[in-house]
Structures are given as structure tokens and as C-alpha cells.
A and B are shown apart, each in its own frame.
Chain A
Amino acid sequence: MIELQDVWKEYGNGTSALSGVSVRIKQGEFVYVVGPSGAGKSTFIKLMYREERPTKGHIFVGGFNIERLRERQIPLMRRTIGVVFQDYKLLQKLTIWENVAFALEVIEASRRTTQRRVAEVLDLVGLSEKANMYPRELSGGEQQRVGIARALVNKPSVIIADEPTGNLDPENSWGILKLFERVNDRGTTVVMATHNRELVNATHKRVIAIEAGQIVRDQERGDYGYED
């Protein structure tokens, strides 16, 4: 479960990104976060995995009180959530397999667990055959699948995605969305910030719209609602 209570975020240069945001996302929900560029979507996402700290307010993610978290506890918290980025953030020097295994390696998982889990998630995202290739040999859509596999390999209860289809063509974007839906079907919460109107309008999921740092709309089975 994710909960934000009256969260404010002001950056050091005085710009105010979020002004009093409260929201509750239940375990197993699929939520789109939409809104114009610079409205606060990214800040909203970054607060959830503690890349940014709120100026005021409370944030709870899967039992962690994010704004009270000690420096030492941050790694433990991050192991319970998977983060997917617009630019995939893969390591070019590592193979697909190694990129995914990396997430388990750094949390000191046993070798056997690593073998099994990496094989499972690569199978899930349909890249088992390309396990030994390098990121630059893959299409954008495939690279994003690797990013998702890496996010899933820890069995997180929450997946947070920041514009995961931002660099992809419509066909690949659909593939990524289908993947998130499958993950969500298994009970994992998915929070996805997006600009992709087609996806949002076609899937009728919960939509949270953020404008000027505030939630202006929170709809079950909503639509994108902007003309771009």
C-alpha cells in the first residue's frame, strides 16, 4: 500500500513541485499518473522511492515511513520496490543476463536464487533467447523489457515506472503495457507516470492527474483527459 498525506515538495531554488498532495493506493492497484510536463509527476514518483525527500508531509510505501527513513534503511526499502525509467538505465558493459542478475548480486542473494530468478523474469519478459546479448544489440522496446525484468527480479510488491514508454513507438509501448498488466495480475501494485494518451484511454484504469503540484482529478476507470 502507498499513502501520501499532505505532501509538499519545494526544491532548493524555490520552485514548488508539490503543494499538499494526499493519495492512497491499495495493494494490487494499477494507477496512471498524468499531467503536463513540469506539473510534478516526476517529483511524485521520485518521492516514492526516496530519491527526493518531501519538504512536509508523510509518505508510506509498503510499511516504510519514507520521510522518517534512516540513511541505512534506504537500501532495504528500495529492495521492496522496482523502479523502471524512461531511459532504461542499463549497464552497457554487461549482458542482458548480467544486467538483471546485477540487482540480485548487489543485495547478496545466493547464486542458486539468482540463477532461478533471472531465468524466471527473462522468460516472463520474453527475452530468454537474448540473455547473452548486450543492451546496444537490442531494440528500445527490448531494452525496456530488460529494465522491467531487473525491476521485477527482487519480487517487489510495488513497481514504479517513470514514463516507461516515453522513448518507444506505439507498438512497443503496447508490449510494455501488456507486460505491466501481467505483472499487475499477479498482485503487484503498478504506478506509472505517462504522457501516452492512447494507452491510458484504451485501458480504463485509475488515473491521477497532477497539475501545478496538486491532484486535480482522481478517477477510477479514467481517461487521459488532455488534448496535448
Chain B
Amino acid sequence: MSETKNAGTMDMRIRTVGRHAKEGFKNLFRNGWMTFAAVGAVAVTLFILGAAIALSLNVQNMSISIENELQINAYVSDSVTVKQLPELRKTLADLPGVRSVSFVSKAQALRKMEKVLQSNANLISGLGNPLPNEFVVQATDPRQTAALAFRVQHVKGVEQVQYGKSIIGKLLAVTAAVRDTAIIFIGALLVMGIFLISNTIKITIFTRRREIEIMKLVGATDGFIRGPFFVEGTLMGVFGALLPSAVLYGLYNWLMRSVTLFPPFTLLPADAVVWRVFWVLILCGVFIGAWGSVMSMRRFLRV
């Protein structure tokens, strides 16, 4: 007996979920213009958000690759014998703040130079090898490059040190500023989006307050009344995310094709960026829609 009863309520629960989904979907069309307005508001906000994310992903990528190219060239004094080289390498690697040390021998350096000079390589062929042995040192933290260079300079056996002294400071300041601005911008957009959407949904609920009032008076629970609004809000959020995702995908591909850039200023591949943006937008859309609808209808449930 109790089993059939349980089966009955279970069946009803499923039916209720189905009803909420159906009602919520129907309401999207019943309130066509309001839906359009709400989805539009979500779409515009999420488009800006998506563009900001795509931009900041690329800027971040660029700044990381630029930072990684910051290196210290330590030219080894000719008085250091080949046997002493491993020891010197260890001394450099043991300095605090060093991420990696790699060795470029005189011969390698020469081959590199010949490659650069190509057909003019014979210009230097008569000179023997004037190039010194060289260690390339990278800092764990690119911002500490200058300090590390100073330390490398004072290691015995290092004759001369070279690093992008003048550009480092400016470059690091620019990439940091771009990153911080993007974060603030994204935060502000999210807040604005929630505000816009909960306001729009408030209006759609306002036009249906009579329906809610009647539901309350015939004994519907608050959860039941919320159901369709929840579905409706979530769907609006999803549509409001799909639209800008598609537009961003198209725009990004167009940008990739029409703008030629040189390393390290290259764009990340479209798929990687747009998929990441897509999931963020969907999550934001669902969150904004569901939360916005539930929040904005609290007032109307007090009958």
C-alpha cells in the first residue's frame, strides 16, 4: 500500500518537473517582448564580458611569453677553461632566484651567427671564432631579472652580462596594468549584468503577479510557484550566453584571418579561447538567470 503511494508521489514529482519545464518554456513565448528584452540585456552584457575575457586571455598569454623571453646572457671569460665550465654552471644555477641555466658553446654561437648572416657567412670565416662561451640564465620571477643580472655579473668567470635593461621595467608595468584592468572590468560587468537581468525579470514577474496571487490562494507552495520562473530565467540566461558566444566565435576567427601578427604578439587559437569563453558565459548566464529570477520574485510570494 505504502509502496504504491510512494510510486504515486514519485510519478507526480516527475510530472511536476515536466510541468515547470513546459510552463517555463511557454512563458518565454507568452511574454515575447519581455523575453526578448531580457535575453538582449544578458547577451549584450555577456558579449562584452566574453570579449574582455578573450582579450585578457591573449594579453596574459602575450605577457607570459614576453616575460619568458626575458633572459640574461652571461658571457664567459676566455680565462675559464672547458673543464671549469661545469663548475661555473653549478655556481650560476645555485644563485637564488634562478629558474634555468643553459649553455651555448662558442661553436654553437658561431653556427647561429652563420645562420643569421646566411650567404654573407664567409665574411667571418677568416676570423676563427671570436665569440665567447655563453650561459643563458632565466629568473624564476621575470620581475627579478635586473637584480639577478647584478648577481650574475659578480660571479667569478663571468666577463660580461647582457639583458633587456631598458625595456624590462616598462614591459612589466604594461602587462601588469593590462591584467589588473581586465580583472576590474570583468567584475564590474558581472555586477552590471546581474542588476540588468534581475530588473528585467522583475518586470516579467510584475506582469504575472495576478497569476502568482491566485496560485498562492489555491494553496500552491512557494517552491511550486518558483519552478517555471526558475526554468524561464535559466533558459533566458542560456540563450543570452549562446548568442554572444556564436558572435564572438565568428569575430575571433575573422580577426585571426585578417590581422597578421608577429611573435610574441600572436593570438591564441580560436577554439581554445572561444570554448573557454563559452563555458564561462554559459555558467554566468545560468547563474544570472536562475538567481535573478528567484531573487526578484521573493517580494511577490508574500500573499
Residues of chain A having any CB pair with chain B under 8 Å:
49, 51, 72, 75-79, 83, 89, 91, 93, 102-103, 105-108, 110-111, 150, 154
Contacts and interface: CB of A to CB of B under 8 A. Distances in A.
Contacts of A76: 219
Interface centre among A76, A79, A106, by most chain B C-beta atoms within 10 angstroms, is A106
B214 A89 contact: yes
B218 A107 contact: yes
Given A89-B217, A103-B219, A154-B218, 10 more contacts: A75-B221, A76-B219, A78-B218, A89-B210, A89-B214, A93-B30, A102-B214, A105-B19, A108-B16, A110-B8
A102 B211 CA distance: 10
Contacts of B303: 51
A91 B218 contact: no
B12 A110 contact: yes
B255 interface: no
B213 interface: yes
Contacts of B12: 108, 110
A105 B215 CA distance: 10
Contacts of A91: 210-211, 214
B220 interface: yes
A97 to B, nearest CB: 15
A83 B211 CA distance: 15
Given A108-B16, A108-B224, A110-B12, A150 B210 contact: no
A93 to B, nearest CB: 7
24 contacts: A49-B217, A72-B221, A75-B220, A75-B221, A76-B219, A79-B218, A83-B217, A89-B210, A89-B217, A91-B211, A91-B214, A102-B215, A103-B219, A105-B19, A106-B215, A106-B218, A106-B219, A106-B220, A106-B224, A107-B220, A108-B15, A108-B224, A154-B218, A154-B219
A107 B219 contact: yes
Contacts of B224: 106, 108
Contacts of B215: 102, 106
Contacts of B8: 110
A15 B210 CA distance: 27
A78 B214 contact: no
Interface residues of B, number: 21
Nearest to A83: B217
A89 B224 CA distance: 20
Interface in B189-214: 210-211, 213-214
Contacts of A102: 214-215, 218
A24 to B, nearest CB: 25
Contacts of A79: 218-219
Contacts of B214: 89, 91, 102
Contacts of A89: 210, 213-214, 217
Interface centre among B214, B218, B303, by most chain A C-beta atoms within 10 angstroms, is B218
Nearest to A92: B210
A104 to B, nearest CB: 9
Contacts of B19: 105
Contacts of A107: 218-220
A8 B22 CA distance: 44
B119 to A, nearest CB: 83
B211 A103 contact: no
A152 B219 CA distance: 13
Given A93-B30, A108-B12, A108-B16, A78 B211 contact: no
Contacts of B219: 75-79, 103, 106-107, 154
Contacts of B225: 106
Interface in B95-116: none
Contacts of B213: 89
A83 B15 CA distance: 27
A185 B218 CA distance: 23
A49 B219 CA distance: 10
A171 to B, nearest CB: 27
A154 B219 CA distance: 10
Contact of B217 (A78, A93, A108, A111): A78
Nearest to B215: A106
Nearest to A151: B218
